[in-house]
Chains A and B, each alone.
Chain A
Amino acid sequence: MLTFLEFINAVWIGSVYFISAAGLTLSYRVTRILNFAYTNMITLGAYLAVILTLNGTGNLLVLIPIVFVAGSLLAIGMHYFVFSRLMSLKATPLMLMASSIGIWIFLKYVYYGIVGYLQRAWKVGLYQATPNLNLDWGLNAYGVELSGAFVASIALAAASILSLYLFLIKTRMGKALRAVADNPSLAEVSGIPSEKVMYVTWFIAGGLASLSGLMWALFSIVTPEVGDSLILEIFAVSVIGGLYSIPMTAFGAYVISGAENLLMPILHDTIGLEVSFRPFIAFFTLLVVILIKPPLGAAGALPYRFRLRRRER
Chain B
Amino acid sequence: MNRRRAQATSKLIVMLVVGLVIGFGATYAYYASAPAGVTKTVTKTETTTKTVTAVGAAKEYTIGFTIPLTGELTAIGTNWKNTIEMAMEDLNEDVASYGLNVKFKAVVLDDKTTPEGALKNVQTLYQSGIKVIIGPAASAQVKAIKSFVDENHVVIISPSSTAPTLAIPDDYIFRTVGSDAIQARALATLAYEQGVRKVVVFHRDDEYGVAFGNFFKKYFEEMGGTAVDMKYAVGLPDYASEVAQLSAKVKEIGADGIVIITFDTDGANILSHAKDDPVLCSVRWFSAEGIHGTPELTKPEIVEFINKTGFYGTRPLFRENPIYKQFASRFEERYGIKPVVFTSNLYDAVQLAGWAILKAEEYDGAAIKEVVPEVAMRHYGASGWCILDEAGDKLMQDYAIWTVGSTPTGYDYVDVASYSGGTISWG
Give the interface of A toward B (CB within 8 A): 1, 3, 5-6, 9, 12-13, 109, 112, 116, 119-120, 123-125, 127-130, 147, 219-221, 223-226, 229-230, 260-261, 264-265, 268-269, 274-279
Contact = CB atoms under 8 A, between A and B. Distances in A.
Contacts of A13: 238, 240
A127 B78 contact: yes
B244 A229 contact: no
21 contacts: A5-B247, A5-B276, A5-B277, A12-B240, A109-B70, A125-B296, A127-B75, A219-B238, A220-B269, A220-B273, A221-B296, A224-B70, A229-B236, A229-B237, A229-B238, A265-B241, A265-B244, A275-B242, A276-B232, A278-B242, A279-B233
Contacts of A229: 235-238
A276 B269 contact: no
A223 B248 contact: no
A224 B269 CA distance: 14
A278 B295 contact: no
A109 B112 CA distance: 12
Nearest to A10: B241
A151 B126 CA distance: 54
Contacts of B235: 229
Interface in B54-107: 69-72, 74-75, 78
Contacts of B237: 220, 225-226, 229-230
Contact of A260 (B241, B296, B299): B241
B228 to A, nearest CB: 12
B394 to A, nearest CB: 27
Interface in B234-280: 235-238, 240-245, 247-248, 264-265, 268-269, 272-273, 276-277
B337 A123 contact: yes
Given A260-B241, A265-B241, A275-B231, A130 B205 contact: no
Contacts of B328: none
Contact of A125 (B71, B75, B231, B240): B75
Nearest to A277: B233
Contact of B296 (A120, A123, A130, A268): A130
B231 A274 contact: yes
Contacts of B74: 112, 127, 223-225
B70 to A, nearest CB: 6
Contact of B248 (A3, A120, A220): A3
A119 B277 CA distance: 31
A1 B75 CA distance: 37
A279 B236 contact: yes
A261 B296 contact: no
A128 B233 contact: no
A268 B236 CA distance: 18
Contact of B244 (A5, A124, A128): A5
Contacts of A279: 233, 236
Contacts of A128: 75, 264-265, 268, 294-296
A284 to B, nearest CB: 14
Interface residues of B, number: 39
Contacts, number: 111
Contacts of B277: 5
Given A13-B238, A128-B264, A261-B244, 16 more contacts: A6-B245, A9-B244, A119-B78, A128-B265, A128-B268, A128-B295, A220-B273, A221-B265, A221-B269, A221-B272, A224-B70, A225-B70, A225-B72, A274-B231, A275-B230, A275-B242
B295 A124 contact: yes
Given A13-B238, A219-B240, A129 B296 contact: yes
Contacts of A275: 230-233, 242, 245
A116 B74 CA distance: 10
B25 interface: no
A259 to B, nearest CB: 10
Contact of B78 (A109, A116, A226): A116
A225 B71 contact: yes
Contacts of B299: 130
A6 B75 contact: no
B35 to A, nearest CB: 15
Given A3-B248, A221-B268, A223-B74, A125 B242 contact: no
A226 B235 CA distance: 11
Nearest to B74: A127
A245 B226 CA distance: 52
A107 to B, nearest CB: 13
Contacts of A147: 276
Interface in B278-312: 294-296, 299
Interface in B314-340: 335-337
A3 B242 contact: no
Contacts of A223: 74, 265
B248 A1 contact: yes
Interface in B351-385: none
A49 to B, nearest CB: 15
9 smallest beta-carbon distances between A and B, as pairs? A125-B295, A229-B237, A127-B75, A276-B205, A276-B233, A9-B240, A6-B244, A261-B241, A123-B336
Nearest to B231: A276
A116 B70 CA distance: 11
Contact of B241 (A9, A112, A221, A226): A9
A219 B240 CA distance: 9
A175 B277 CA distance: 46
Nearest to A108: B70
Nearest to A122: B336
Contacts of B78: 116, 119, 127
Contacts of B335: 120
